[in-house]
Amino acid sequence: MNRRPRKNRKDTNAEALIQGESSTLDRRLFVAGGAVAAIGAVRLIGAMDEAPVPVATTPSVPLTPVTTPEPYPVGLPVDPTEDVRYLSPYQFGMVDGAADNTTAMQMLFDTMVLNPGARAVLPAGIINVTNLRIDYSGVEEQPTSGAPYGYAGPKIEGSSKRGTIIHQIEGTSGDLLTVQGKTGIASGPANNNKISGMSLSNLQLEGASTGGNGLYLRSIVDSNFDDLTISNAGGSGLYLARETFISGQVDEYFYGNRFSHVKLLANANWGVECSGTNAIASSFYDCEAIGNAAGGYRLAPSGMIMVHCLAIGNGVDDVSARGVLSLSNSNPLSTNNGLTLIGCRFEGNSGVGGYEVEIRSGSGHVITGAQFFATSGATMLGIGLDTNDDRMVRGLVVTGGYFAGDNRTGSQRVAVLGPRASSTSFDNLGVDPNQFTVSGAELIDDDSRDLWVANPSAFRVSNDGAVVMSPLAQSLVAPDTGAALGVVTGNNGKQSLVVRFPSGSAQVIASED
């Protein structure tokens, strides 16, 4: 495949910019390898712009020319648009090992905001800062619908998830890195005015004990956050916000964002925290929440999936802590639904009287193949327990997996189902009978509606760990007047025993194998 050669151009505007003069910059300036810097954000202006934007005439700094990248990285089109640019914090005055590189880093991010699709590579080492923002609040507002479908987000990459460390200086307050599109009324009803297609990867965000959240995200869609470590924040490691939602009018979308190989370590609040105002749709793959004080994942799900994620040692001995907490939104017009946990592991979260996983409301949640090692004495599942909220947990399905307690805590259960749980289904659970001090009916406490498969009074675990029905010990009571018991034959030729109640409703009691 032949690539279109790039035009070489001697750019006198670069020299003018370095001297602090206002000038118009060609869109190919950074791609062509020109050395550009100024104390303040720079917008690159091309022929398509109607008028140049002045560059701040603040004192300049000496520059070391940046090596021109190879023509176009693998994966870019043969004829890429001129909106592809490469930036470095050194172009804005960053000094390796400096006590405070906030100004240079903020200049870099401001410049990326003003130049859609800009790219930056951060060096290995510790970059000391106070607070940083990638904020589109000052960018020209987009129309309420149609093109361009949001602000083309930047691509920011470090050397590795533990190699490039953006470190928040101790004594700083506020979040370490805030990323947000337009908020409130300015967010509009659709994808426009949100950040779209951002990429942040291969670096560590290390908070200060006096600070806020490690990474705060709001009004952002279709973006990727990969191979990150977020640690030691004074708030939560990762905070996800969708504060404004009026259907059809304004909506700070938080949809289609993907988090993979994100490690959340020793943060003072949650590993991941949703604000809980409105529902959020995101996906998490191979993420780890370990040693966070309040819990692993505090979620407000709407079509949210977690695959092979870990929650280990979060909020140990804190009854209010959880490995996962799926909560109810404070805005009742934004519903919770579709939380799916696949192959996730929960170990040593919360404490005696608490829960490894608690689900407070929503429909259509699924837990499949989960592994529970409840070594801190917590019960594994708490479903529909919040009696202060009239919203229900409807249709939860729990299949397969492995359930092991600490073999010493008498109150520990596989699950506790409260009055706000309805139509819960347990199927083929792998309960380890050697890891509980109780057995049989006591493994599930049920105050719910319509628990499927096994009535807890008849629930037991066989010696090989299988969930089975216990023989009925009570004597039978004659049915109420109007009730009928009979046998029906299905299309498959198999018979089922059915009871019909005076109300007219019917229930299958047992079916032929």
State pTM to two decimals.
0.77
Asked whether the beta carbons of 262 and 285 are under 8 A apart, the reply is no
What pLDDT is recorded for position 425?
A: 92
β-bridge pairing 415-417 and 459-461: unpaired
What pLDDT is recorded for position 146?
A: 84
CA dist., res. 318 & res. 294, Å (int):
8
What pLDDT is recorded for position 61?
A: 33
Please report how many Cα atoms fall inside a 13 Å half-sphere around the Cα of residue 498, on the Cβ side: 13
Taking alpha carbons only, the member of 112, 119, 190, 118 closest to residue 158 is 119
What pLDDT is recorded for position 442?
A: 74
Q: How far is CA 155 from the centre of its chain?
A: 19
Count of Cβ atoms closer than 10 Å to residue 155 Cβ: 19
Q: Which amino acid is residue 62, in one-letter code?
A: P
Taking alpha carbons only, the member of 141, 237, 129 closest to residue 182 is 141
CA dist., res. 411 & res. 353, Å (int):
7
Asked whether the beta carbons of 224 and 195 are under 8 A apart, the reply is no
Token pair belonging to 325: 């907490």
Token pair belonging to 2: 């032949």
DSSP structural state of residue 343: S
3-state secondary structure of 499: strand
10-residue averages of pLDDT along the chain (513 residues) = 38 32 32 34 40 33 34 33 70 96 97 92 97 95 87 95 96 97 89 93 98 97 97 98 86 92 98 93 97 97 96 96 95 91 98 97 96 96 89 94 93 93 90 82 81 55 52 54 73 74 71 65
Asked whether the beta carbons of 66 and 88 are under 8 A apart, the reply is yes
What pLDDT is recorded for position 440?
A: 61
What pLDDT is recorded for position 51?
A: 37
CA dist., res. 89 & res. 428, Å (int):
55
What pLDDT is recorded for position 48?
A: 32
Asked whether the beta carbons of 200 and 161 are under 8 A apart, the reply is no
Cross-strand partners of 367: 341, 398
DSSP structural state of residue 4: P
CA dist., res. 154 & res. 122, Å (int):
13
